[in-house]
């Protein structure tokens, strides 16, 4: 099933600013909130769909990629998920990620059921951004890249817990293990209960008795990790791909961040890219143009024999269908355009000048554009079809 347009999901125009997006998202989240629609799977799916749309459109970089490439530009094809298989959100992830919109009060700030959101805070590692340079050949076929990344990884001494060997955890006395502390205030509308992160344990609900000496209780240390990237065919300059869980490790056994991979294209020596099509400028002398010839042209699979028809005019464009680049997560493929340019010699010796003078007034050397040569508009029509 194809994904819906993110602007359509939030019911906002493409020109919507940050405040309009936030307002629209809150409206959709309230409407489809799980606490308001208990047991309604369709409502929960729409709640997650709205969260996904807001996550992309509220980020300037992701929004720019989405506006340019659609769902494939932000790590998801139109009919499927992330090219790297990042997985989906659950409701708890959404509350954690968009706490500034949901608020910190009852069940995300909506208070439909009067339930208090409980549970310890789950630490999340930060995302990492890297750039990977690819040749057109690698882009055409897809490629596996092994890269070395310097990042936070779980401490090997304490296995990421932050506690010294043999040390234990104790329940936080301030929040009694809940990770949050409640406060009741009186207002003109009656008593209002709000909840905030416990300052003593920073929301974890527990205290380390003795911290690991290697990581000083953080559970993470700086180190290098070799990461394998399986980059799909058809990616383009400026596109960003997401590798879930390969960013910085989170303190004390939390959820690792993501690795954001930016694509850079290495310019090809002979071929130029425009979308999924490739272009090659071919130069021949006018003898070959008149008589016809066979030449070698570059393709992404190597050199290929190519026939130039007799009487070919400068500006003739040959289309080799399916010899371009593939579409991301699709069977569609672009074409290779061969643009023929007839080279006119700039210097002639005496013998060459005599030979050409003999043909100067010959009937077949007289331009006859109405007879065989196609007009500019005809060539453009042929070029795009």
- Sketch the domain layout of the chain as residue ranges: 1-117, 121-163+211-266, 169-208, 272-383
Residues pairing with 222 in the sheet: 152
Answer whether 67's CB lies under 8 Å from 324's CB.
Answer: no
The whole-angstrom separation of Cα 337 and Cα 320 is: 6
Higher pLDDT, 362 or 156: 156
The reply to whether domains 121-163+211-266 and 272-383 share a CATH topology is yes
Strands 143-154, 336-343: parallel, antiparallel or unpaired by DSSP? unpaired
The shares of helix, strand and coil residues in the chain, as percent rounded to the nearest 5, are: 25, 30, 45
Q: What is the pLDDT of residues 165-220, one digit of tens each?
A: 767 788 888 888 888 888 877 766 666 777 788 888 878 888 888 889 899 888 89
Residue 84: pLDDT band (50, 70, 90) is very low
Residue 114: pLDDT band (50, 70, 90) is very low
Q: Across the chain, what does the average pLDDT equal?
A: 81
Q: Does domain 121-163+211-266 have CATH number 3.30.365.10?
A: no
Q: What is the pLDDT of residues 285-316, one digit of tens each?
A: 988 999 999 999 999 999 999 999 998 999 99
The DSSP symbol for 66 reads H
The whole-angstrom separation of Cα 260 and Cα 243 is: 6
Q: What is the pLDDT of residues 215-270, one digit of tens each?
A: 988 889 999 999 999 999 999 998 999 898 999 999 887 889 999 999 999 999 99
Share of the chain above pLDDT 70, in %: 81
> What CATH class is the domain 1-117?
mainly alpha
The confidence score (pLDDT) of residue 137 equals 94
Share of the chain above pLDDT 90, in %: 36
The confidence score (pLDDT) of residue 82 equals 43
Residue 338, phi then psi, degrees to nearest 5: -105, 110
The confidence score (pLDDT) of residue 380 equals 54
Residue 152: pLDDT band (50, 70, 90) is very high
Give me 234's structure tokens: 């058809």
Strands 259-265, 128-134: parallel, antiparallel or unpaired by DSSP? parallel
The whole-angstrom separation of Cα 193 and Cα 257 is: 32
Q: Residue 171: CB partners within 8 Å, gap ≥ 6?
A: 177, 205, 206, 207
Average the pLDDT over each of 100-104, 166-170, 367-371 and give the range with the smallest value. Answer: 100-104
Strands 240-243, 259-265: parallel, antiparallel or unpaired by DSSP? antiparallel
Asked whether residue 140 carries a pLDDT value surpassing 80, the answer given is: yes
Find the DSSP H helices in 193-321: 286-291
Residues pairing with 293 in the sheet: 308
Name the CA dihedral angle for 117, 118, 122, 127, rounded to a multiple of 10 degrees: 0
The DSSP symbol for 333 reads B
| Superfamily holding 272-383 | Urease metallochaperone UreE, N-terminal domain (2.60.260.20)
Residue among 179, 33, 195, 202 nearest 113 (CA): 33
Burial class (CB in 10 A: 0-12, 13-18, 19+), 132: middle
The distance in angstroms from the start CA to the end CA of the chain is 30
The confidence score (pLDDT) of residue 106 equals 39
Task: Give the SS3 label for residue 274.
Answer: strand
The confidence score (pLDDT) of residue 86 equals 39
The DSSP symbol for 258 reads -
């Amino acid at each position: 099933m194809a994904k819906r347009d993110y602007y359509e999901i939030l019911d906002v125009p493409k020109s919507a600013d940050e405040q309009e997006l936030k307002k629209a998202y809150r409206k959709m989240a309230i409407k489809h909130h799980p606490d308001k629609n208990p047991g309604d799977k369709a409502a929960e799916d729409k709640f997650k769909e709205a969260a996904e749309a807001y996550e992309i459109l509220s980020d300037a970089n992701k929004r720019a990629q989405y506006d340019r490439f659609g769902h494939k530009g932000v790590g998801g094809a139109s009919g499927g998920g992330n090219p790297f298989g990042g997985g989906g959100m659950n409701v708890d992830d959404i509350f954690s990620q968009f706490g500034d919109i949901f608020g910190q009060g009852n069940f995300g700030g909506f208070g439909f059921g009067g339930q208090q959101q409980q549970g310890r805070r789950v630490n999340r590692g930060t995302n990492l951004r890297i750039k990977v340079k690819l040749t057109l050949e690698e882009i055409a076929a897809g490629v596996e890249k092994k890269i070395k990344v310097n990042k936070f990884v779980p401490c090997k001494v304490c296995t990421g817990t932050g506690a010294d060997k043999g040390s234990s955890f104790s329940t936080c006395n301030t929040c009694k293990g809940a990770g949050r502390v409640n406060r009741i205030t009186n207002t003109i509308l009656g008593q209002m209960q709000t909840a905030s992160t416990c300052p003593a344990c920073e929301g974890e609900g527990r205290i380390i008795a003795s911290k690991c000496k290697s990581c000083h209780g953080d559970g993470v240390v700086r180190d290098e990790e070799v990461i394998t990237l399986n980059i799909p065919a058809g990616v383009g300059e400026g596109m960003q791909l997401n590798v879930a869980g390969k960013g910085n490790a989170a303190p004390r056994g939390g959820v690792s961040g993501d690795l954001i991979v930016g694509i850079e294209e290495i310019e090809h020596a002979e071929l130029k890219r425009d979308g999924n099509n490739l272009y090659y400028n071919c130069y021949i002398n006018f003898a070959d143009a008149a008589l016809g010839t066979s030449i070698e042209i570059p393709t992404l699979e190597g050199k290929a024999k190519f026939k130039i028809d007799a009487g070919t005019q400068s500006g003739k464009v040959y289309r080799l269908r399916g010899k371009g680049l593939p579409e991301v997560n699709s069977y569609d493929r672009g074409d290779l355009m061969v643009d023929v340019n007839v080279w006119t010699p700039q210097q002639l010796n005496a013998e060459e000048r005599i030979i050409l003078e003999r043909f100067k007034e010959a009937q077949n050397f007289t331009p006859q554009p109405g007879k065989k040569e196609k007009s500019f508009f005809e060539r453009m029509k042929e070029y795009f079809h």
